[in-house]
A and B are shown apart, each in its own frame.
Chain A
């Protein structure tokens, strides 16, 4: 009996289903190469925007047992500089047989089309469209992930601009995420990434003030795994494209649960920060051990097992 972690994602052959989630450490070629060497099946860069962004002032992140809250504020060198970084990263990852996913963000629907064209010059294996960052609302207003209409409009613009595979990253704080997922797939998305962080805040009682400089931020880590599972489970019942299930994955069992909810790939973010990039090889080992123990020969035999249609 053997258990294989190999997975075909939109025709891309991956050694395992774990993906470095966008926003965690995807800031340089050396750091993304390190994650690939430590066992990530694919690596996602930090979201690039039309112009460089410094991000928010400290405090930007707090981490405790229950999770992580952050409001980094989309720090990035701007999409033109990002193309150079992505090209170098892609070269290094190719040598390791690890695909590169490039994340991007823009303030307007039209600007998404411009940024995606620029990022496509680096020819990443997938472009992830971040329409759901919860930490820049004061600058850019309601995220495009808030309604099926605005999410589909961004998707259509991006779809028209490039032929590379695109995944749309959705927000959890909506009434019907499955409906939004269906709208973006109808508008041309090849995959769905779910979920982004959950809007949240911390207040310090002694200071009588919000802790994050940005006041509010995005919650991730263990606290949001149940939220992410439900979102992926609902999306998987509404669309047939592959899902990158992300949110609170810390161990092999978490990854198995996410795949059973219908995910093809599993994003890992906060756990990489909490434990370091070595977390990838640990989760892979645990996932493989679980599959052996429970007699799942491959990921396909486990995928969607918890969906109603498979009961």
Chain B
């Protein structure tokens, strides 16, 4: 049996919160006291707080393990309320992450979907490739990672729907221009499904391969319960096989 499929994240292990970075009003990055050396950008972990619950989170960094968490529900609220030294239990890494193709990489994040892109930008940097990052959100307050990516010296374009930061409009408009100007070898994106579908169309028109990371309601996280199946019409639209599971086949879908 393929080694990749034999472990499946195992049982959860306890980590402690070592440091907390405030990304915006509702989003924190937790730096944990441990590492996931085999993790790849785009993979995810299941994080458990006893008595609260367990949810999937994308990986922000592997050494030390870091998770960027937006306060959107009971579990993520408890996660952003954690203090230094508090414990959080992790199983993973799970799923299939991004795979860098070529040397020029266009990274696109929508809202808190930008969470895995700092990790991916670092992988690009390590490989000696070139990255251009496009981030979009409703307002300036909904953007994450902008300052961090700037500090890391990443080339960055920003769009907000209300124009409170960067260009006014949708990130997809920025992306169209970025494809023409930057001539990337591949596009990597994470964010709301609507944005991903628009990007898939755009990439199809430009014959650009795309790697799209999908979000879904996830329960088991290991391909058993079927909760995170991507709707069949989306699979058809994207050229994925019917019955595509976000946790097991994804979260990153290879398109084109």
Contact = CB atoms under 8 A, between A and B. Distances in A.
A275 B51 CA distance: 30
B243 interface: yes
B50 A207 contact: yes
Nearest to A250: B1
Interface of B: 1-2, 5-12, 14, 46, 48, 50-51, 53-55, 87, 89, 91, 219-227, 229, 232, 235, 241-243, 245, 248-249
Nearest to A24: B224
B224 A70 contact: yes
A202 B220 contact: no
B248 A28 contact: no
13 contacts: A25-B245, A27-B229, A31-B245, A33-B242, A58-B54, A58-B55, A59-B53, A61-B222, A72-B225, A204-B11, A204-B89, A211-B12, A272-B224
Given A59-B54, A276-B5, A207 B224 contact: no
Most chain B Cβ neighbours within 10 Å, of A26, A27, A273: A273
A67 B9 CA distance: 12
A299 B12 CA distance: 41
B11 A30 contact: no
Interface in A12-29: 24-28
Interface string A154-184: 0000000000000000000000000000000
SS class of chain A's interface: helix, strand, loop or mixed?
A: loop
Interface in A263-288: 270, 272-277
B232 to A, nearest CB: 4
Contacts of B14: 204, 206-207
A90 interface: no
A70 B222 CA distance: 11
Nearest to B249: A276
Contact of A30 (B87, B91, B227, B235): B235
A75 B226 CA distance: 10
Given A33-B243, A58-B54, A206-B14, A27 B226 contact: yes
Given A27-B229, A62-B91, A72-B219, A204 B12 contact: yes
Contacts of B219: 55, 58, 60-61, 72, 75
Given A58-B54, A207-B89, A273-B224, A31 B243 contact: yes
B89 A61 contact: no
A149 interface: no
Contact of B222 (A204, A213, A274, A277): A274
Contacts, number: 129
Nearest to B230: A30
A209 interface: yes
B229 A30 contact: yes
SS class of chain B's interface: helix, strand, loop or mixed?
A: loop
Nearest to A212: B54
Contact of B12 (A46, A62, A68): A62
Contacts of A65: 6-7, 10
Contact of B224 (A25, A34, A211): A25
B96 to A, nearest CB: 11
A27 B245 CA distance: 12
B46 A64 contact: no
A226 B7 CA distance: 21
A57 interface: yes
Contact of B220 (A26, A30, A31, A273): A273
Contacts of A59: 12, 46, 48, 53-54
A70 B220 contact: yes
B243 A28 contact: yes
Interface string A27-54: 1101111110000000000100000000
Most chain B Cβ neighbours within 10 Å, of A35, A61, A64, A72: A61
Contacts of B87: 206-207
Nearest to B14: A206
A10 interface: no
Nearest to B5: A275
B223 A276 contact: yes
The 3 A-B pairs of least Cβ separation, nearest first, read A34-B243, A27-B226, A61-B220
Given A33-B242, A34-B243, A270 B224 contact: yes
Contacts of A31: 226, 229, 242-243, 245
Given A30-B242, A59-B54, A70-B225, 11 more contacts: A27-B225, A58-B46, A59-B48, A62-B11, A63-B10, A65-B6, A68-B224, A206-B87, A207-B89, A209-B50, A274-B8
Contacts of A60: 219-220, 225
Contacts of A34: 241-243
